[in-house]
A and B are shown apart, each in its own frame.
Chain A
């Protein structure tokens, strides 16, 4: 399995990175041009780009943890490729476990040394997440025209419709935070007070920033409010854990 760090595998990873960066730059430039035509200012666009990049740093570092976990089984380059394209650690890891443990009965704790297991993992990982790459090109135009029709027919309902979609997603994650989880050491289930406190802390920081924005007319803070709330509550999570909350 020496090929796991071979030049051609690294070249493939670099190609994937170039592809993803090119696609992103392409859409960024096209969207920027259209945004200017629609009346957004260059400064607003710049602030959006900067604030999004800052916002994305912490979740991206968390993705590195997934890279680290997967690298112990698949080497570094394959997880690097997989985590740069469609998928997420929450998908790649179960897919790997399904094959390594479920099909071959091997332990996920060790680096794969059998090429047969390796290629099976790779093909399953790739094809196990393929539907969006087929469905989106085929159906997206139809989905978007339906959304447009809803907005056109009754713009007030269109706004409520979009709010409901966001709130549906957010409510699922609020439920996820309070859901009992399994302690892998003791085997008992518990509700993570740490997660709940982090959620509340983030909400409180966001509410305070919201008040500052409204009361002191600090509009520029809007772009950074969620990033600050997220990072602040993550820092508090460290403090809560230090105080023994779990």
Chain B
């Protein structure tokens, strides 16, 4: 008999392949309707400069985030995007709220519930925003609100940081020191945060393993 996890992989694959076909069909339908296709050279030039960074980042993200998000959460999160600024924090927030262990089956279902709920609200807000963009523009562009919108990442990761650092501060020391040094000393790293996430994860895993085998955890 198929387990819940087996079924999740079956459903997830069906949804994801459908999403792949849907995403590719959008530019295809537009090109057919307009009778306008990109010239190969321009397309390859644009794709190369984009893919060299984003194929690497998104590939690494799959291997970094999927153990955190669980199976259903990964299928859903990687179809709908906005992972680091929304889906991963949502899953962490929900698992922390219910005190469930990430990576366990309960963690997996709680993560899926959180990512699905988050996706629903985000999709509705974006749709509403698209419909009302003209009246909303003065509000979204209001200078007084810009500091709040510009600082969502610090607002998000300050709170998450406290929770997870308090939970395992010994593991946290090495990656935090390493990341602070890298970001402060190497110019231009703000654009490479996607690449730096797996670097931070590898440092944290090595540090945790050393602490664990030397009985310091």
**Extra contacts besides A132-B58, A237-B154 (16): CB < 8 Å:** A19-B22, A48-B114, A53-B121, A62-B149, A62-B152, A94-B50, A103-B45, A136-B62, A143-B62, A151-B104, A164-B201, A169-B84, A171-B179, A176-B153, A176-B189, A229-B158
Size of the chain B interface, CB-CB below 8 angstroms: 160
- With A116-B38, A120-B43 in contact, do A98 and B80 touch (Cβ < 8 Å)? no
Total CB contacts across the A-B interface at under 8 A: 550
**Chain B contacts for A238, CB-based, 8 A:** 144-145, 147-148
12 example contacts (A-B, Cβ-Cβ < 8 A) are as follows A63-B82, A67-B130, A90-B85, A94-B54, A136-B74, A136-B75, A165-B67, A166-B164, A168-B202, A171-B176, A180-B184, A194-B151
Size of the chain A interface, CB-CB below 8 angstroms: 154
- With A168-B201, A205-B159 in contact, do A147 and B183 touch (Cβ < 8 Å)? no
The verdict on A199 contacting chain B, using a C-beta distance below 8 Å, is yes
**Chain A contacts for B99, CB-based, 8 A:** 222
Q: Are A95 and B78 in contact (CB under 8 A)?
A: no
Q: Are B122 and A137 in contact (CB under 8 A)?
A: no
**Chain A contacts for B82, CB-based, 8 A:** 59, 63, 83, 87-88
Q: Are B149 and A137 in contact (CB under 8 A)?
A: no
Q: Are A160 and B217 in contact (CB under 8 A)?
A: yes
The verdict on A112 contacting chain B, using a C-beta distance below 8 Å, is no
**Chain B contacts for A202, CB-based, 8 A:** 154-159
The verdict on A133 contacting chain B, using a C-beta distance below 8 Å, is yes
**Chain B contacts for A63, CB-based, 8 A:** 82, 85-86, 122, 125-126, 129
Contact of B153 (CB < 8 Å), options: A94, A147, A173:
A173
Q: Are B30 and A35 in contact (CB under 8 A)?
A: no
Q: Which of B70, B101, B140, B158 has most chain A Cβ within 10 Å?
A: B158
